[in-house]
Chains A and B, each alone.
Chain A
Amino acid sequence: MSIALYRIDDRLIHGQVVVGWGKPLNVGFIVLVDDAVRASTWEQELYRMGVPPDIEVVFASTEEASERLPQWESDGRVGILVAGDIGTLAALTANRHRVSRVNVGGLHHRPGRSERLRYVYLSDAEAVQLKTLAARGVEVTAQDVPTAAPVPLEDFT
C-alpha cells in the first residue's frame, strides 16, 4: 500500500480526515506536514488526541516530508498525508516525487479569498497555484468527504 490520499485541509487532522476518510480507507498512519506543528510538541499532542491509538501519526516539516515521501509511499499500511496549504503540497509534488492526485478538502474563508465551493475558498493566486499543479500532471479535485462526488479543478477555479 502507500499514501492513498494527499489532502489540503487547513483544519489539518480532524473528524473528516480521521473518520470520514480514515475509516473507509482503513488507514494505518497519518502524516501531518506543517512546519509550525512539527516544531511544537504541545501542538502535536493536541492533534494526536483526536486519532485512535491504532493509527500512527507522523509529524513532519515540509523538508522532512520531501525526504521521507518515498518511505511512506512504500509503507505496507494505507496512509493519508495532510497539509494545511497549497504551497506545502506543491513543494512535495515537485521534483522526483510521483504524487498523481491531490485532494482539496478544506480551505476556509479568510480575507482575500472568495468562495469557490462551500468548503473551498481561494484567492486568485491560490487558484493559479492549483492550476500550476495540474499543469504538472497532478489530478486536482475538491472533495470534503468520500461520499461526496469529487469536483474537477476547472469547476472551482
Chain B
Amino acid sequence: MSEPLRGVIVSHAAVAQALLAAVAAITGVRDALVPVSNDGCDTGALAERLNQAIDNKPAVLFVDLPGGSCLTSSVRLARGKTDVAVVTGVNLAMLLDFVFHRDLPPGDAARRAAEAGSRAIRTPAA
C-alpha cells in the first residue's frame, strides 16, 4: 500500500495550527496534517513553506479562503501536478473526513473533503 495522503492546511495567522489541534483533540490523529501560516511571508517564502510541508509527497492543500496569497501560492504549487490537489474554504468538518480517507487519490480526496465541508454548513433552527 502506498503512503497515505498528507493534508496541508494553509491559512492566515494561526488558523491552520488551531484546526490541526482540533482534529487531534477529536480524532487522536496527529500525523495526517501539517499547518502552514502565511505570517510574514511574501509569495516566495510561502511557496518555500509549502514545499517543505508537502515534501514531495502526494498531498491535499486545504486553503482558508478562495482568494489571496494562501490560494495563489497553493494553486501555483499544484499546477501541473497530479499528486497535489487544492480545496478552499477549509473547515473542521472537511478535515475530520479527510484524515480517515487518506488512501484516495488526491483529486478524489479533495472532492470528498469539499463535499463533507459543504454539508457541515447549515443554519439550524434555534
Contacts and interface: CB of A to CB of B under 8 A. Distances in A.
Interface of A: 10-15, 18, 42, 46-47, 49-51, 106-110, 118-119
B41 interface: yes
B50 to A, nearest CB: 14
Contacts of A47: 67, 72
Interface of B: 12, 38, 40-45, 65-69, 71-72, 75-76, 79
Given A15-B12, A46-B75, A109 B68 contact: no
Given A11-B38, A14-B67, A108-B40, 16 more contacts: A11-B42, A12-B72, A15-B65, A18-B68, A46-B76, A49-B67, A50-B65, A50-B67, A50-B72, A108-B42, A109-B45, A110-B42, A110-B44, A110-B45, A118-B40, A119-B40
Contact of A18 (B38, B40, B67): B67
B67 A10 contact: no
B77 to A, nearest CB: 12
Contacts of B42: 10-11, 106-110
A109 B42 CA distance: 7
Nearest to A46: B72
26 contacts: A11-B43, A11-B68, A11-B69, A12-B69, A12-B72, A14-B67, A14-B68, A14-B69, A15-B65, A15-B67, A18-B67, A18-B68, A42-B79, A46-B71, A46-B76, A50-B65, A50-B66, A50-B71, A106-B42, A107-B42, A108-B45, A109-B42, A110-B44, A110-B45, A118-B40, A119-B40
Contact of B66 (A42, A49, A109): A49
Contacts of B69: 11-12, 14
Contact of A15 (B68, B75, B76, B79): B68
A47 B76 CA distance: 11
A109 B69 CA distance: 15
A136 B55 CA distance: 48
Contact of A50 (B68, B76, B79): B68
Contacts of B40: 108-109, 118-119
B39 to A, nearest CB: 9
Contacts of B66: 49-50
A108 B71 contact: no
Contacts of A14: 67-69, 72
A110 B44 CA distance: 8
Contacts of A109: 40-42, 45
Contacts of B76: 46
Nearest to B67: A50
A123 to B, nearest CB: 13
